[in-house]
Amino acid sequence: MFCMPLSYRISFVQSHYYEREDVALHGLAKFFRKNSDEEREHAQKFMKYQNSRGGRIVLQAIAAPSLQEWGSALDGLQAALDLEKQVNQSLLDIHVLASTHSDPHLTNFLEGEFLEEQVEAIKELADMITRLNRAGPTGLGEYIFDKELRD
């Protein structure tokens, strides 16, 4: 299964979850909103590429994410990191398939548009998790971490 559409939906739902009045982590909401916008742009790049290669886009029903509440900032970031790793593996699998079928255009497209950016996203989330753990993943540490994301 290709995970990018799932990544877009989950980031979008996470942005609204952390914006709720009973969660109130607006910096994290801002981060996930930006992430959602980037994932939507990635999906659009794939659709444009598919059209340029003469393919057809077949839309399917959009299922709600299985998880719609994430608890702490740490829980949400860990879920996002796990999903980014899944997306990265999906992209690597497609890259292998393209290489196996001697499709240099697709391998170049994946390398130029996605693979390096995925590694950077994984590193950014892992760094954020480390910083949050150092600050204290709940209470004042979480508040200060969230405030940094807002500014």
pLDDT higher than threshold 60 for residue 19: yes
125, 28 in Cβ contact below 8 A? no
User: What pTM does this model have?
Assistant: 0.87
pLDDT band at 1 (very low <50, low <70, confident <90, very high): very low
38 is in an annotated binding site: no
pLDDT digits over 24-43, tens only?
999 999 999 999 999 889 88
- Ordered by where they begin, the domains of the chain are 4-150 (1.20.1260.10)
Q: Please name which of 82, 113, 84, 111 lies closest in space to residue 95, comparing C-alpha atoms.
A: 111
116 is in an annotated binding site: no
118 is in an annotated binding site: yes
84 is in an annotated binding site: yes
Q: What angle do CA 41, 42, 45 make, to 5 degrees?
A: 90
